[in-house]
Amino acid sequence: MTNKLLRFYLYFILYLASDLAIAQADVPAGARATALGNASVTLPDLWALHNNVAGIANLQQAQLGAYVENRFGMRELTTVALLAAIPTAKYGSYGLSFSRFGDALYSQQHIGLGAAHKLGQFSLGAKLDVWQIAVQGYGSQKAMALSVGGQAEVIPDLYFGAYAYNLNQAKLAAFEDERLPTIMKAGLAYRPYHKLLLAAETQKHIDYDATFKAGVEYQLLQNKFILRTGFQSLTNRATFGVGFIARHLLVDYAFGSTTLLGTSHHVSLTYRLKPKEEL
């Protein structure tokens, strides 16, 4: 076994074996969500296509996004993603997402289609993801995951979100009844004033302990420069990030650290087809 292959499988055992199931629902979240500890179930942005599809119902213009994530400095643990969403005047918002993780030894990729509609203060959405998991020498398996979510402004500046990923418990293989992860999450976000956002949520994988996630976002320089930080309890992961808004373009970067495995880097670009004064 080559050093490259041995190193990959060591990381696979240490990280992927315990966290890949959760990561499939969380990645790619976008660098904004990652910097907030992925306390993202209430966020109404393009990346809601992954974090809570109901959030795309609040989009005011069509958006395109690209995301790159690298974990622990290893090329084998890189995720790339492309997203697009378009709102309509009468029939809600629709989004398309694609992502790929891994290399020739192990990879997972998906394509997803989501739709969301706003009803007064409530937003409801559903998404279908088709996943393909491939392992060199063992072939590949496909599965379809159905997810639903909702968001609401409970009172002015207090927001609630809930999301259920893979409600159908899609099966990947008959061996040991291998399935895509089924994950439930719910949380709150509060904006004490327009420059500050506080977010917190709880996430439960049906086969793992629940995790608590929290994040803070603060806007500077006339809301053009943004600072973020967050935390996840189950993985003891601290995250930090920045964002910059330049008319049509949003650039976000996040840096994450775990005590055992090292650091990760996340970059996302969002292009809005029309300018918007405030997120």
Each domain of the chain, given as residue ranges in start order, spans 3-272
CB of 145 closer than 8 Å to CB of 165: yes
Residue 115 has a pLDDT of: 97
For residues 263 and 44, the model is more confident at 44
Tokens (6 digits) for 178? 């291998």
pLDDT above 80: residue 14: no
Residue 29 has a pLDDT of: 79
| Residue 173 C-alpha from the chain's centroid | 25
Residue 75 has a pLDDT of: 80
Per-residue pLDDT reduced to its tens digit, 159-209: 999 999 999 988 877 666 778 889 999 999 999 998 999 999 999 988 888
pLDDT above 60: residue 8: no
How would residue 18 be classed by pLDDT, with cut points 50, 70 and 90?
very low
pLDDT above 60: residue 28: no
Residue 260 has a pLDDT of: 63
CB of 43 closer than 8 Å to CB of 31: no
For residues 275 and 109, the model is more confident at 109
Per-residue pLDDT reduced to its tens digit, 81-140: 999 999 998 899 999 999 998 888 888 899 999 999 999 889 999 999 999 888 888 778
What would the mean pLDDT of 135-163 be, rounded to a whole number?
Answer: 91
Query: What CATH number was assigned to the domain covering residues 3-272?
Result: 2.40.160.40
Beta strands 171-173; 158-165: pairing state:
unpaired
